[in-house]
Chains A and B, each alone.
Chain A
Amino acid sequence: MNRPAKKRPELVCPAGTPAALRTAVEAGADAVYCGFQNATNARNFPGLNFTPDEMAGAIAHAHAAGTRVLLAVNTFPPAGKFGLWQEAVDLGAELGVDAFILADIGVADYAARVHPGIRRHLSVQAAASSPEAIRYFVEEFGIRRVVLPRILTVGEIRALADEIPCEIETFIFGNHGLMIEGRCSLTNYVTGLSTNMDGVCSPAAEVRYDTGVDGCVSTRLGPHIIDRFAPGEQAGYPTICKGRYFAPARGEAYYAFEEPVSLNLAPLLPELIAAGVDAFKIEGRQRSRAYVRAVVAAFRKAIDATLAGGRPELAELVALTEGQRQTEGAARTKRWR
């Protein structure tokens, strides 16, 4: 795919509430992604997301400022419940969203057939990372943009860009929980609830924090303790993949899968833009307006500075990161741990 050099990439920002959406718009988002208050999107947190009325108001606000609204309908419908996903797509179309973010091929097919005039983006949840897989989605469902899994190096992204007939969106900041994007079942195994549809990786109703007399805090998910933080030690999200576990071959508890750390690819913005990335996504629909304001504004400046020839670092955002640590993850090397 021939790409013009140094085009201005889109900054795609999270909004878990109408107030967060307005904050993102004000802070310089080119596009905002959000979802309805149900299992059709992968951030189904209690108290989060949009009612239909709120979505209508949010779209009007965003469009008035020239900001696009991308509707996340990016979970996988269980058998017999497809109607909820159809309703979300139909409602999004009626309200005037600019694109659907989709993962399931049934939902993608429905959106393509019933609402062909609305852009379709392939969610990271679909975990499409090869040219063959992405081309299949483009040819079958008219996908216009793929959100790439966070397992690719910049070199691999560059190679992909030359081989696929659609735009590329990559995560630039936020949660760094890779596993098999969209297909992780660790939470289902421990709690019986869906990782994707019942409140991300840790349904809040299943999470408990217990402080011991020694000041250590134990994090429990369902019946299992998944981490224990000493007084003053930085904490992470209560997810199984970021927990510490004992194993016979280890002398002490260790991070078996991932560590509590957030992605920050600000230092690689020049390389990613040169590789052909069309849009940069900030993770964090579950985060506050304060997070949205700080991160969106910082990346707005960083992208503009990069296009002007600069090389931003954005180290100050580490205060907002999980475990107060950040990583360039697989973008720099597959051996990020």
Chain B
Amino acid sequence: MPVRSPAARVGAVPGFVRLIPLPLFLLQPLLDRVVRRLAADLPEVFDRLGRHRTSRFVIDAREMPFVLVLRPDPDRPLFAACPRHREPEHEARVEGRFLDLLGLVDGDRDGDALFFSRDLQITGDTEAVVCLRNALDDVDGSIAERVAAMLGPPGRLALSVLRRAGTGPR
């Protein structure tokens, strides 16, 4: 029986995501705020990361014009947007479609299944990625929802649109 993979259920990325090539210096304060707030609100996430708290992760949502760089160190957190042609040195790299990556931080997708279906690509330090995955997955509810809440009504609206595009109504 043909069964659609999780990837096959993914719809198109809404236009506003593709329109994000706003100057990165405008995006950066927002990312700083997000990572510092998460570090303050979810200290247990960092415990699970162990020695990989100081690892540098590149997160590549393929549809975006830039990559994200994450160092989940609660003392010196880093969450930055970098142009693709200036990708910094890193320990691990995670690449996938925007809506799949959103599904992972939304607690709605299974990373192993995305890997099996080849919708998620991992390079570099696999242990760092496994740690990050396990740490994020231990957050009750949705990290995406927390971030959206920080941004107020526009954030909640954006997340709602993205969820509809990704997996249908929740």
Residues 1-48 of A at the B interface (beta carbon under 8 Å): 16-20, 22, 45-48
What residues make up the interface of A, taking CB atoms closer than 8 Å to B?
Answer: 16-20, 22, 45-48, 51, 203-205, 207-211, 217, 229, 231-238, 260, 286-291, 294, 315-316, 318-324
Contact A204 B116 (CB under 8 A): no
A46-B52, A205-B126 provided; 14 other pairs, C-beta below 8 A? A17-B138, A19-B140, A20-B138, A47-B49, A47-B133, A204-B129, A217-B121, A235-B116, A286-B112, A287-B110, A288-B110, A288-B133, A290-B103, A324-B5
Cα(A316)–Cα(B113), bound, Å: 13
Contact B131 A47 (CB under 8 A): yes
Residues 100-143 of B at the A interface (beta carbon under 8 Å): 103-104, 107-113, 115-118, 121-127, 129-135, 137-140
Q: Which of chain B's residues has its CB closest to A232's CB?
A: B118
Q: Which of chain B's residues has its CB closest to A205's CB?
A: B127
- A residues less than 8 Å from B110 (CB atoms): 287-288, 290-291, 294, 320
Cα(A211)–Cα(B52), bound, Å: 23
Residues 39-56 of B at the A interface (beta carbon under 8 Å): 47-50, 52
Cα(A321)–Cα(B6), bound, Å: 11
Interface of A is mostly: mixed
Contact A319 B6 (CB under 8 A): yes
Cα(A324)–Cα(B50), bound, Å: 32
From the candidates A17, A204, A315, A318, name the one contacting B130 in the complex (CB within 8 A).
A204
- A residues less than 8 Å from B127 (CB atoms): 46, 203-205, 207
Contact A320 B113 (CB under 8 A): yes
Contact B138 A46 (CB under 8 A): no
Cα(A313)–Cα(B109), bound, Å: 22
> Could you tell me the distance in whole angstroms from the C-beta of A20 to the nearest C-beta in chain B?
7
- B residues less than 8 Å from A319 (CB atoms): 3-6, 113, 117
Contact B122 A324 (CB under 8 A): no
Contact A47 B50 (CB under 8 A): yes
- A residues less than 8 Å from B19 (CB atoms): none
Contact B135 A291 (CB under 8 A): no
Cα(A16)–Cα(B138), bound, Å: 9
- A residues less than 8 Å from B130 (CB atoms): 45-47, 204
In the complex, 21 of the A-B residue pairs with CB atoms within 8 angstroms, ordered by the A residue number, are: A16-B137, A22-B140, A46-B130, A47-B135, A51-B47, A204-B130, A204-B131, A208-B124, A231-B118, A234-B118, A235-B116, A235-B118, A238-B126, A288-B112, A289-B137, A290-B107, A315-B1, A318-B3, A322-B112, A324-B3, A324-B117
> Could you tell me the distance in whole angstroms from the C-beta of B99 to the nearest C-beta in chain A?
14
> Could you tell me the distance in whole angstroms from the C-beta of B121 to the nearest C-beta in chain A?
7
- B residues less than 8 Å from A16 (CB atoms): 134, 137
> Could you tell me the distance in whole angstroms from the C-beta of B127 to the nearest C-beta in chain A?
4
Contact B137 A20 (CB under 8 A): yes
Contact B109 A288 (CB under 8 A): yes
From the candidates B5, B112, B116, B134, name the one contacting A46 in the complex (CB within 8 A).
B134
Contact B116 A289 (CB under 8 A): no
Q: Which of chain B's residues has its CB closest to A204's CB?
A: B127
> Could you tell me the distance in whole angstroms from the C-beta of B48 to the nearest C-beta in chain A?
4
Q: Which of chain B's residues has its CB closest to A284's CB?
A: B112
Q: Which of chain A's residues has its CB closest to B6's CB?
A: A319
From the candidates A210, A289, A320, A321, name the one contacting B123 in the complex (CB within 8 A).
A210
Q: Which of chain B's residues has its CB closest to A16's CB?
A: B134
Contact A209 B132 (CB under 8 A): no
Cα(A22)–Cα(B139), bound, Å: 11
Contact B108 A290 (CB under 8 A): yes
Q: Which of chain A's residues has its CB closest to B138's CB?
A: A17
Contact B111 A321 (CB under 8 A): no
> Could you tell me the distance in whole angstroms from the C-beta of A101 to the nearest C-beta in chain B?
21
Contact B121 A211 (CB under 8 A): yes
| A-B interface, 10 closest residue pairs, ranked by CB to CB distance from nearest | A47-B134, A47-B131, A204-B127, A17-B138, A205-B127, A207-B126, A291-B110, A204-B130, A47-B48, A290-B110
Given contacts A22-B140, A47-B50, A319-B3, contact A234 B116 (CB under 8 A): yes
